[in-house]
């Protein structure tokens, strides 16, 4: 007889209990791991926040320390929350770096009588190779004797010209003032400037020391004429609406970061809000030469004189190109003459202005469109050096062609 065993109800219960206990243990492990990871994450977050706070504290200390030493703070410390220029902060930081430059100039009249007059301008402090210098305009110190610089606190010292370049209207001065007087400014590249960008100038118009004015960049790539530069144009100049007057010459032009992007140099007489500044890129390029050799002789030279093309001039010449520059004369033996550039020999009169006709019309350099004389001079200033080969795109007798030219060195002023 088969023996049967009754099924026990305890076995299923025991298995269920074991499963529940196992699940509870697993949950405990997972919970412990989660708690451990959570604690570790919180510790990491706390450590990271502490590091950020320390870095922010160090950054603030660094800015304060750099301000106290008269050096550039670094970040956009001078801009308002809207990004506009903070004139008060920039002035408080930079005015101590701007000086009044004075000298005496002697002139002799047609009767042989000599008179002496005072020349007044502005300048600003820079540091180069651990030495302090003052940058100003060449025309401020040209021919001066008894040059002196006066700091914003009223302390004045004699100064001497270290180096100068009339073609860029730049000069560098040195003075024996104690180190405590010097608060150098930061000069940065002007290549990123755009029309409409706000700028600020500090200088000494009419001897009114420490005057600040605000405006915008009105245009780039202008050319201006200075007597000291002879018949050569000072190229690649910044046009500004920032009000400047006699005495501002040589003062710094600032961007919203409180950095020097130019040096105020000239105005259009009788105008309102039409001023000019030498760009910072020109200063940065020439500064090492002016300080170490006393001059700068790397201005490229084509050896031509030109007139801007226009619609009316194009009609008078019988050509269909209304932009570029008309070559009116070529210097004998100069780079353009040696390359075969042709000057005009006839004359035409347009709106009462007489032009020399028949010469080549330059419309491009190395593929870059040349709209007028400003564009030609600015391209050469920014991109070319003596002995460099360039390709001129020209219109000759109505037909386009190219000419290879090896640039020369501009003769001394």
Three-class DSSP category at 359: coil
Q: Does 139 participate in catalysis according to the annotation?
A: yes
CA distances (Å), origin 325, targets 53, 67, 210, 230, 365 = 60, 49, 42, 20, 12
Secondary structure (DSSP) of 82-124? TS-B-HHHHHHHHGGGEEEEEEEEEEE-TTS-EEEEEEEEEEE
Q: CA 391 to CA 184: how far, in whole Å?
A: 41
Q: CA 303 to CA 337: how far, in whole Å?
A: 8
CA distances (Å), origin 21, targets 18, 24, 27, 219 = 5, 5, 10, 82
In terms of phi and psi (left: phi > 0; alpha: psi -120 to 50; beta: otherwise), the region of 143 is left
Q: Does 165 participate in catalysis according to the annotation?
A: no
By the 8 A CB rule, do 249 and 123 touch?
no
Q: CA 172 to CA 346: how far, in whole Å?
A: 45
Give the max Cα distance, the chain: 158
The 8-class DSSP code of residue 381 comes to: H
The 8-class DSSP code of residue 228 comes to: G
Catalytic residue of the set 139, 144, 165, 281 = 139
Catalytic residue of the set 142, 144, 165, 169 = 169
Q: Which residue has the tokens 């099924």?
A: 7
The 8-class DSSP code of residue 187 comes to: B
Catalytic residue of the set 249, 357, 364, 377 = 249
Q: Does 144 participate in catalysis according to the annotation?
A: no
Q: CA 403 to CA 290: how far, in whole Å?
A: 34
CA angle centred on 68, ends 62 and 69, rounded to 5°: 90
Structure tokens at 115: 């008179």
Strands 389-396 and 361-365, sheet pairing: antiparallel
- The catalytic residues are 139, 169, 249
């Amino acid at each position: 007889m088969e023996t049967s065993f009754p099924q026990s109800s305890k076995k299923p219960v025991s298995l269920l209990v074991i499963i529940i206990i196992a699940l509870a243990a697993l949950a405990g492990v997972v919970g412990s791991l989660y708690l451990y990871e959570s604690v570790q994450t919180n510790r990491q977050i706390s450590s990271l926040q502490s590091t950020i706070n320390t870095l922010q504290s160090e950054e603030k200390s660094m800015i304060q320390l750099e301000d106290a030493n008269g050096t550039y703070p670094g970040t956009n410390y001078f801009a308002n929350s809207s990004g506009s220029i903070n004139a008060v902060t920039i002035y408080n930081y930079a005015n101590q770096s701007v000086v009044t430059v004075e000298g005496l100039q002697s002139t002799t009249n047609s009767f042989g009588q000599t008179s002496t007059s005072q020349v007044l301008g502005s300048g600003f402090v820079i540091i180069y190779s651990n030495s302090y210098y003052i940058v100003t305009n060449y025309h401020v110190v040209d021919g001066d004797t008894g040059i002196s610089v006066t700091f914003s606190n009223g302390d004045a010292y004699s100064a001497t010209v270290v180096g100068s370049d009339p073609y860029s209207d730049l000069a560098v001065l040195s003075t024996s003032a104690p180190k405590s007087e010097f608060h150098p400014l930061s000069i940065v590249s002007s290549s990123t400037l755009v029309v409409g960008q706000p700028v600020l100038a500090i200088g000494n118009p009419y001897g009114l020391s420490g005057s600040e004015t605000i405006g915008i960049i009105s245009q780039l790539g202008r050319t201006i004429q200075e007597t000291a530069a002879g018949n050569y144009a000072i190229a690649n100049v910044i046009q500004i609406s920032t009000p400047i007057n006699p005495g501002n010459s040589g003062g710094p032009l600032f961007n919203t970061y409180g950095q020097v992007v130019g040096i105020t140099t000239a105005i259009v007489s009788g105008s309102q809000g039409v001023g000019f500044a030498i760009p910072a890129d020109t200063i940065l390029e020439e500064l090492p030469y002016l300080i170490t050799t006393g001059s700068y002789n790397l201005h490229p030279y084509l050896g031509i004189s030109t007139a801007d093309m226009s619609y009316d001039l194009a009609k008078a010449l019988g050509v269909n190109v209304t932009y570029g520059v008309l070559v009116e004369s070529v210097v004998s033996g100069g780079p353009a003459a040696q390359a075969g550039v042709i000057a005009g020999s006839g004359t035409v009169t347009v709106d009462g202005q007489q032009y020399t006709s028949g010469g080549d019309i330059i419309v491009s350099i190395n593929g870059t469109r040349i709209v007028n004389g400003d564009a030609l001079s600015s391209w050469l200033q920014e991109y070319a050096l003596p002995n460099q080969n360039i390709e001129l795109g020209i219109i000759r007798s109505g037909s386009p062609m190219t000419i290879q030219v090896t640039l020369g060195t501009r003769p001394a002023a």
